């Protein structure tokens, strides 16, 4: 299953939205610390995030710890960035990809760009900087799940 990774997230509401999406769509969420806000199960529960019990959250002490895990697991890193030339719809996604999202305030440092196996962007009208990070995550995760046939099965209510 495709996972999401948040590089040092700095807006708690966006992180909460992405965690909820992970719960609903079955994608694990990796948080590469440090976060720009208190990130704990207690804080998430206090914020009313009742989806916390349904999402797989993996915390990594820092970028080096995340990279060590990723390489050991043999996972491909796909960075979502405004600095890429390749539209996200042109990439062939793999079931074990990890979609990396940068900080809302400044993206990711060059070392993260350099470590990415693939870099994709969301085409936008000229003059627009970027989408909200949770919206960008939803678009690219949706495309990767579509391509890999990994959307959850819809269960019909009786």
Q: Residue ranges for the binding site?
A: 80, 102, 122, 130
Strand partners for 4: 29, 99
Beta-carbon contacts of residue 96 (< 8 Å; ≥ 6 apart): 1, 2, 73, 74, 75, 76
Helical segments of 54-150, H only: 63-73, 110-115, 133-148
> Where is the binding site for S-adenosyl-L-methionine, in residues?
80, 102, 122, 130
Angle at which helix 12-25 crosses helix 133-148, to 10 degrees, equals 20
Cα 34 from chain centre: 16
Is-contact 74 115, C-beta < 8 A? no
**Which helix (DSSP H) or strand (DSSP E) does residue 5 occupy?**
strand 3-7
Phi, psi dihedrals of residue 16, rounded to the nearest 5° = -60, -40
């Amino acid at each position: 299953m495709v996972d999401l990774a948040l590089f040092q997230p700095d807006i708690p509401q966006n992180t909460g939205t992405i965690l909820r999406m992970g719960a609903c769509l079955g994608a694990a969420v990796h948080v590469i610390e440090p976060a720009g806000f208190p990130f704990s199960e207690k804080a998430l529960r206090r914020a009313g995030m009742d989806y916390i019990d349904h999402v797989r959250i993996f915390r990594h002490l820092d970028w080096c710890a995340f990279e060590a895990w990723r390489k050991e697991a043999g996972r491909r890193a796909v960075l979502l960035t405004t600095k890429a030339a390749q539209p996200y719809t042109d990439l062939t996604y793999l079931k074990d990809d990890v979609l990396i999202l940068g900080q809302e305030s400044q993206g990711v440092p060059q070392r993260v760009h350099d470590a990415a196996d693939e870099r994709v962007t969301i085409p936008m009208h000229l003059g627009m900087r970027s989408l909200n990070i949770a919206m960008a995550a939803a678009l690219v995760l949706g495309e990767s799940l579509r391509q890999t046939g990994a959307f959850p099965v819809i269960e019909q209510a009786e």
